[in-house]
């Protein structure tokens, strides 16, 4: 039986219809699940596990195409999952994979899948534990039928599977039949390959999604729920080519990163920009770099330093701001590692989250000189700004907003689940790390707390100014929201 192209499927009047869809190659444009197994190996395991997966992937490919689809997938699952804690697998599935899945949703299959509102079901050969969070939270799936992995009593994956094994071919058909029963067949079925035909025959209407071609992915904001927070070190989807290039670069990048840190930390601040050029680090400074208080005209000297209010992208924001300014500033920090504090070329002072103590510390620091603060309280990778804490607005009227934007090609310079001490090194492991620092005009007195505005109005005003400069969106999400979504915790740091 020949199935029609998904483009022939109408999405009108399907509010009470049920739909069953495959994942890789159907709901997503990419047909290969290798990138997601590689992400699981790196983020849930280690770089060594990723190397092993890379080495066995040619074997898995040959088994997939010349022996059976099931055998090839079994190899990928075993290497990626064997020995991992279930809680680590779930954490990667919740914090890392959704971003990459969400950037690859097929527009035609999503048009049909999202139109069927009564019951949406995803059936996939991938381990259910790996894809269920994304499918339910970001695609609005009601049920996910996938391969079930074997788990020890100690909560670790063995790498082997529970019966009936990999969900392909007739096993998909059996799973769908069990889910929907004999009374009512699914209204719409979506697949992309021959092994999907058995479950498609159960559906009243069945459609095939052709190979990717040149179709553009669905914009993330059109999904059931967009991805706002995500974790993981890799910037690009680890396709076989990207994964190979990343693994080859990793040891060289690590050595280069250490060299960059050691040289820049021990270089006098005025010479750092020139050293950046020699080390392949690009710094772009925009706007009018503000004069220090002691340099203002008329012979007047302010009693306080300038408070630079900065958006927060990595732990290196204050460092690059200081280099761009050409003067050393003190950074108030929260949730940074001891190693980061030790290697920091500028002074750092920890916040305690005790409002009175923090206010007193900030006032004393401002009396001593310039200060940089990131009111978001945590980093964010997506083009959004989190809610700004208003404490800083109560303490001074000399406020300069600063927009920072790091650009990375291989590795993210921040993490939630990983070791925060490595954040600066991972950023500097990128072949050509780039930071953009944009200084805005000092906030007019009439827009400050001293000019009659409430601290919240000042904080919101600066958030909007920085968002407009960067082309970002303002949100009311907080640090707590981020950690609840990614780790199911509040982000408290264990000392």
Res. 16: pLDDT tops 80:
yes
Give the number of C-alpha atoms closer than 13 A to the C-alpha of residue 477, restricted to the C-beta side: 20
- Cα separation of 177 and 361, whole Å? 65
Question: What does the pLDDT read at residue 295?
Answer: 46
| Confidence band of 112 (pLDDT split at 50, 70, 90) | very high
- Express as a percent the part of the chain with pLDDT over 90: 80
Q: Mean pLDDT over all residues of the chain? A: 92
- Cα separation of 300 and 296, whole Å? 7
Tell me the mean pLDDT in the region 35-51. 97
Residues of the chain with CATH 3.40.1130: 250-487
Paired sense of beta strands 348-350 and 330-333, if any: parallel
Give the number of C-alpha atoms closer than 13 A to the C-alpha of residue 333, restricted to the C-beta side: 21
| Confidence band of 350 (pLDDT split at 50, 70, 90) | confident
Entry pTM: 0.92
Tell me the mean pLDDT in the region 17-45. 96
- According to CATH, what is the number of the domain 14-222? 3.40.50.1000
Question: What does the pLDDT read at residue 303?
Answer: 57
Question: What does the pLDDT read at residue 278?
Answer: 95
Residues of the chain with CATH 3.40.50.1000: 14-222
| Confidence band of 301 (pLDDT split at 50, 70, 90) | very low
Residues 6+ apart with CB under 8 A from 136: 142, 144
Question: What does the pLDDT read at residue 211?
Answer: 86
Question: What does the pLDDT read at residue 291?
Answer: 67
Question: What does the pLDDT read at residue 174?
Answer: 95
Res. 321: pLDDT tops 50:
yes
Rounded CA Rg of the chain = 26
- Express as a percent the part of the chain with pLDDT over 70: 96
| Confidence band of 1 (pLDDT split at 50, 70, 90) | low
Res. 105: pLDDT tops 80:
yes
The matching CATH number, chosen from 3.30.70, 3.40.1130, 3.40.1000, 2.10.25, for 250-487 is 3.40.1130
Res. 342: pLDDT tops 50:
yes
Tell me the mean pLDDT in the region 216-233. 94
């Amino acid at each position: 039986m020949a199935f029609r192209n998904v483009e022939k499927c109408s999405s009108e009047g399907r509010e009470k219809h049920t739909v069953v869809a495959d994942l890789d190659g159907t709901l997503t444009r990419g047909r290969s699940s290798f990138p997601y197994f590689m992400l699981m190996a790196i983020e849930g395991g280690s770089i060594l596990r990723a190397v092993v997966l890379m080495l066995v992937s040619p074997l898995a490919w040959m088994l997939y195409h010349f022996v059976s689809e099931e055998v090839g997938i079994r190899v990928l699952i075993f290497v990626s999952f064997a020995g991992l804690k279930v809680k680590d697998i779930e954490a990667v599935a919740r914090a890392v994979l959704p971003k990459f899945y969400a950037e690859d949703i097929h527009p035609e299959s999503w048009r049909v899948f999202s139109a069927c509102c009564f019951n949406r079901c995803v059936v996939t050969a991938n381990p259910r534990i790996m894809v269920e969070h994304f499918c339910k939270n970001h695609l609005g799936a009601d049920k996910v039928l996938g391969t079930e992995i074997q788990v020890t009593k100690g909560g670790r994956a063995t790498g082997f599977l529970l019966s009936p094994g990999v969900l392909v071919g007739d096993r998909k058909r059996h799973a769908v039949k069990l889910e929907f029963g004999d009374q009512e067949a699914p209204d719409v079925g979506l697949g992309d390959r021959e092994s999907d035909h058995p479950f498609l025959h159960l559906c009243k209407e069945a459609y095939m999604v052709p190979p990717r071609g040149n179709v553009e992915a669905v914009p993330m904001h059109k999904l059931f729920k967009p991805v706002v927070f995500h974790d993981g070190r890799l910037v690009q989807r680890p396709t076989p080519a990207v994964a190979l290039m990343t693994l080859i670069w990793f040891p060289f990048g690590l050595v280069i990163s250490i060299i960059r840190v050691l040289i820049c930390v021990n270089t006098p601040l005025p010479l750092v920009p020139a050293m950046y050029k020699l080390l392949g680090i690009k710094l772009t400074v925009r706007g009018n770099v503000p004069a220090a208080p002691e340099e203002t005209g008329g012979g007047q000297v302010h009693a306080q330093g300038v408070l630079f209010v900065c958006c927060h992208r990595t732990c290196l924001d204050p460092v690059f701001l200081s280099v761009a300014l050409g003067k050393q500033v003190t950074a108030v920090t929260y949730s940074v590692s001891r190693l980061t504090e030790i290697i920091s070329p500028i002074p750092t002072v920890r916040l305690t989250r005790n409002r009175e103590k923090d206010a007193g510390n900030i006032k004393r620091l401002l009396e001593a000189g310039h200060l940089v603060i990131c009111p978001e309280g945590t980093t964010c990778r997506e083009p959004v700004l989190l809610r700004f804490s208003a404490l800083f607005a109560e303490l001074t009227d000399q406020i300069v907003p600063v927009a920072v934007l790091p650009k990375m090609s291989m590795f993210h310079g921040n993490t939630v689940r990983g070791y925060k001490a490595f954040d600066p090194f991972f950023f500097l492991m990128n072949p050509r790390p780039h930071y953009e620092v944009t200084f805005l005009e000092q906030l007019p007195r009439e827009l400050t707390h001293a000019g009659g505005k409430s601290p919240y109005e000042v904080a919101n005003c600066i958030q909007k100014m920085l968002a407009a400069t960067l082309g970002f969106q303002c949100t009311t999400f907080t640090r707590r929201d981020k950690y609840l979504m990614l780790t199911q915790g509040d982000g408290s740091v264990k000392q």
